Structures are given as C-alpha cells and as structure tokens.
Amino acid sequence: MSYSRWSYSVWYSFWSANDAETKEEQIMSLWYSLDKTIDWTYSDLLNVTAKDIQRRYRCEIEDAQEAMDYVNRFIKDVDMEFKEVVK
C-alpha cells in the first residue's frame, strides 16, 4: 500500500511486502530520495518523532512533519490488520 509518491510529495512511502508474520516486524519504506531509502519496522516507528525523521534524513522540519502523517497512517493500518478479535 502506498502512502505517498514522488509525483506529489518529497516522500515515496509504502507498506513493504515481506515475509514478516508479526505486527512488530511489518516494514514501512520511507524514501526521501534515491540515496535516502530507509526501511523501518513497525516497532521502530512507534516512538519516532518528526525531529528523529529530520535528523535521519537531513530534511526540513516541514518535510519531516509530512512524513509523520504517513508514519501514523502506516501504524494505524498495521494495527487494523493485526487487530485481535476479542471474544
């Protein structure tokens, strides 16, 4: 699932297909440029902040805040996908 594309954003971000079976191992690819293509696990992203994104990618804070929108959508989607049925 794609959250952003370079055609309308400085970010290309998507839920990466992988063989992970657990929620914590799900991967979000968050790419700022072709030399900054970083993959994050769900667990990594739970405590990440815009400041962390800004430092890691060396981007403007506004771009990092935009990235956080995509990160939060990814976390929400993973939570929904792995939602346990309560009986």
Write out the two tokens for 68: 């956080």
Residues sharing a CB contact under 8 Å with residue 86, sequence separation 6 or more, in sequence order: none
CA distance 68 to 41: 14
In a structure prediction context, what are the per-residue pLDDT tens digits for the chain, which is 87 residues long? 899 999 889 999 999 977 888 999 999 999 999 889 999 999 999 999 999 999 999 999 999 999 999 999 999 999 999 986 444
What is the value of pTM for the model shown? 0.90
Model pLDDT, residue 19? 85
Model pLDDT, residue 23? 93
